Amino acid sequence: MNEISATELMKTISSDEEIAIVDIREKGHFGLEHLLHAANIPFSEFEPGILLQVPRRTTRIVLIDGIDSVAPRAEERLRELGYVTIDRLTGGVDAWRDAGGEVFIGEDVTPKAFGEIIEEELHTPALNPQDVAALIGKGEDVVILDGRTWPEHQGVSIPGSISVPNGELLLRLPDLVKDPQTTVVVTCAGRTRSIIGAQTLINAGVENPVYALRGGTQAWRMAGLSLHNGSTNRFAEVTPEGAARAEAFANDLRRKTDIPDIAQADVERIAAEGQRNLYRLDVRTREEFDDGHIAGSVHAPGGQLVQGVIRWCAVRKGLLVLIDSAPFVRAVSAAHWLRQMGYDARVLQGGVAGATAQVVQDDPPPAIPSLTSVAQIDADHARRLHGGKVLTIDVGASMDYRHSHIAGAVWAIRPRLEAVSALVRQADSIIVYSAVAARALLFAADLKRLFPDRDVCVLDGGLSAWVAAGGEVETTPHAPPDEACIDYLFWAHDRQKGNDAATLQYFNWEHGLPNQINRDGTSEFRILK
């Protein structure tokens, strides 16, 4: 494997070369320290992740690993998939830091820093929870729009708020808020999506008074205000009148930010030339995507795409083709932010309806050669095998294992497969399972490589199928121990459990991101004034 030094990588990042910096450590290790432009594709789910996030096989890939030293294994998998230019950062994150590089904590750092800078430079109006509660208490005309995903909103929300994920805000607002005097408050769990959601409406020229809720649901709770569980408040279908008004807002954004279209023929030409990483990103709702989408496109709802673009696109210099349905408001809304973040984002002319490519409901899974030899069994078969000299291995998320797993199953993770080697040698058969099928299949394939004489199979449907078949489960709240849970980021995690100190720590981290971004010096933000 070729090695690249930290100083060489610093020069490459600032060039026009398409490069993918891929940190293959698990989420817990990545979240504690990483490079700004590193995409986290954990080795546990490496092959499907790399195919999604680095589609061009001739892209230069720089791998970053850590104490588990999985880069050589990752290189083998990359070669099998047809990738040809693979480097490894010598010394990993420690070498980067020693060379004067900035190191970041947390996840989705670039979009969160971008949100903070947007608030600083554009002075996004914001209200404290107490102010919003007081307006509601006085009977003022106020609507609270929750810019998070639907499952997040259902989990916990501000009473009376409506779920309108940020990518849908501009399209759905005209039908939700008909009076231009109504005060609109955009909220999320913390800060970023509140800021971006509110500023989206302001940038588009919405007449209403628009504010971000400062600190979102977490600040609402800290203010002693009640939260709601199980909300059913969600946006409705778009009316023709609402669509026309939303399109006018989107056209205003187009004029301000010069968002280009791209024809389907040009997309196909660029794909055929193979000189750029091409991302076909469908920004509509999951229901619309499942009902029919352009073959080869992936679902990337606009709000979440802006919030975590590197989860879809590991190559900053790639071409992002945003796919929508008329009147293309969601694609324009997302593109106007992505372009300000430095991405080449364009709106597909004609969207899904105008596509010359095949429109499908399902795409075949990516071809991963090593998985063809992995056998799958159903839950009834697994129950018949269970016990005796059969080893059952849960390779899903460590926190999910703590909550519930097949009785007697052990937990393991792909980078540390050797931890269960002794148990594998003692077993006649091994059953591997996970809620994420790829994790189980990849782990099982690795087991087959190391132990070709063992009968290794994957439980189709994972724990859900096991439970449905009447299989026994158990809970282990403290196993695996914290130090083994390298797939979980413990940093500030207690903010989700109502811990005020952890919440303040998280808010302070977000406030400090712009200074870190400035020190790093490699971002390409172009803020619309």
- For 99-158, what is each residue's pLDDT tens digit? 999 999 999 999 999 999 999 999 999 999 999 999 999 999 999 999 999 999 999 999
Longest dimension (CA), the chain: 73
Q: How far is CA 387 from CA 379, 384, 394, 395, 407, in A?
A: 14, 8, 15, 18, 10
Residue 266: pLDDT over 80:
yes
Catalogue the E-assigned strands of 8-89: 19-23, 39-40, 60-64, 85-89
pLDDT category of residue 366 using cuts at 50, 70 and 90: confident
471: number of Cβ within 10 Å: 17
| 458-499 pLDDT, tens digit each | 999 999 999 999 999 999 999 999 999 999 999 867 666 667
- Residue 363: per-residue pLDDT: 87
Question: Please, are residues 436 and 45 in contact by the beta-carbon 8 Å criterion?
Answer: yes
User: Is residue 18 within 8 Å of 319, Cβ to Cβ?
Assistant: no
In angstroms and rounded to an integer, the radius of gyration of the C-alpha atoms of the chain is: 24
For residue 198, what pLDDT is reported?
Answer: 98
By three-state DSSP, how is residue 449 classified? helix
The pLDDT score that the predictor gives to residue 506 is 87
Q: State yes or no: pLDDT of 354 exceeds 90.
A: no
pTM: 0.94
β-strand pairing of 85-89 with 60-64: parallel
Q: Where are the alpha helices (DSSP H) in 82-186?
A: 92-98, 109-122, 129-137, 150-155, 166-176
- Which phi and psi (to 5°) does residue 44 adopt? -60, -30
